Amino acid sequence: MRALWRGSISFGLVNVPVKMYAATERKNVSFRQIHRECGTPIRYEKVCPACNRKVEDDEIARGYEYEKGRFVIIEDKDLEAIPDETTRTIDIIDFVDLSEIDPIYFDHSYFLGPEETGQKAYLLLLKALKETGKIAIAKVMIRAKQSLACLRPYGENRLVMETMFYPDEVRDAGEIPVSPDIKLHENEIKMAVQLINSLAAEFKPEKYTDEYRKALLDIIRAKVEGQEIRIPAPREEKVVDLMEALKASLAMVEKEKEGKKEATGRGRRKRATS
């Protein structure tokens, strides 16, 4: 696994040299735009609309739009004015309980591994976090942006860092209209709770798969092999009464559970007679 960043975790007077690795990867099926007539990929060029010509990479600058249509150019030397220690340090600010953080604040996940010279300090921080049940809130510079982040134990002996949104980057949910006048019947609440409890299970990430991506890859494979694509009939969307939908859902869950019990019982009887 290739390190994306090298620096150190700083808390108090302790420095832990670390490497940062991407913890996740997108597995989207990507498409390119091609010319339908000949199948050639479309080429995109960087063109200046004012000069009406193609612009080379060495002619392109970094600009910040401070007013509509007005820009200030930021050079590399301007960014170099930022003290170097702030760009290579994960500065721990506080230690808090993970339960206090709403998941809406989390952005990207990165694994943190120790440099050879920082093995002991790394394991010490990891052990201390586990002992206290706390996670660390920190600030870190990644790709010319200072991010809020949290550091927490992951697995047996690893640290993971989650970059986080700042409070002013989280939109106000109060702007979403929800009617306060809707009245819920007690039986509706009771049945909804019953349905949730019936579907409650231990979280096992390996059981969840991207069915859409699988179906899309099957279509691509069939197209490559020249097979006919079968389009499934669209599902009928029926508007049903809320109570009826809850009853039907509970009945369906109970039926599935009974089916699983019968299958388990048959399996046990078969093993007993063999």
Instruction: Give me the pLDDT at residue 249, please.
Output: 79
- Whether residue 76 is contained in a domain is answered as no
pLDDT of 101 above 90: yes
Task: Please count the structural domains in the chain.
Answer: 2
The answer to whether position 270 is within a domain reads no
Residue 88: its pLDDT value, please? 83
Answer yes or no: do 20 and 137 share one domain.
Answer: yes
pLDDT score of 153: 96
Residues 21 and 119 in one domain: yes
Tell whether 144 and 192 lie within a shared domain. Answer: no
Mean pLDDT of all residues in 196-201: 88
Residue 106 domain flag: yes
Segment 214-266, tens digit of pLDDT: 888 888 888 888 866 566 566 665 655 767 777 777 788 788 877 777 777 67
**Mean pLDDT within 32-53:** 90
Q: Looking at residue 231, what is its pLDDT?
A: 61
Same domain flag for 249 and 223:
yes
Q: Which domain holds residue 212?
A: 186-233+241-263
End-of-domain residue from the set 135, 169, 203: 169
User: Which one of 169, 197, 223 terminates a domain?
Assistant: 169
**Do 131 and 13 share a domain, yes or no?**
yes
Least confident of 8-22, 170-184, 239-253: 239-253
Query: Are 9 and 99 part of one and the same domain?
Result: yes
Residues 154 and 217 occupy one common structural domain: no
Residue 223 and residue 203: Cα distance in Å, rounded? 36
Query: Is 39 a domain residue?
Result: no
Report yes or no on 49 lying in a domain. Answer: no
